[in-house]
Amino acid sequence: MIRDPSLILTVDVEGAPVRIGERVRIVPASPEGSVDERFLGHTGIVVALVFDDPWLQYPADPLIRVRVSGLGEDLFFVRELEGISERTGLLRRASPPAWAC
């Protein structure tokens, strides 16, 4: 039996770069071109935080599962998302944890 150490959370996590239910926009910020082009420029809703290696990633460096209406869901790195503040309407780019820079 293979044990999968991944941790998938559908609730807010203190210290995470985004919140469940937050609106985000997918942007082309990954040098490795990991973003599926169908999602680029679209806005979606954060539905889960995925920690493939919880010991290293938790809480500040998850993969972020985003649901885009009409396209489905995919995983994104923090640098591939821009958050849309519901209170101010201003765009802000989510920042990776300081130790990851």
Q: Is 18 within a domain?
A: yes
Answer yes or no: is 17 within a domain: yes
Which pTM does this prediction carry? Answer: 0.78
Rounded Cα gap, residues 39 and 71, in angstroms: 7
Q: How far apart are CA 53 and CA 17, in angstroms?
A: 17
Cα torsion 43, 45, 48, 49 to 10°: value is: 50
Which of 80, 71, 66 lies closest to 38 in space, CA to CA? 71
Give the total number of structural domains in the chain: 1
In a domain, 95, yes or no: no
Q: Return the CATH number at 80.
A: 2.30.30.630
pLDDT in tens, 65-92: 999 999 999 999 999 999 855 443 444 4
Place of tokens 């609106």: 23
Residue 73 tokens read as 């869901």
Q: Domain span at residue 27?
A: 7-89
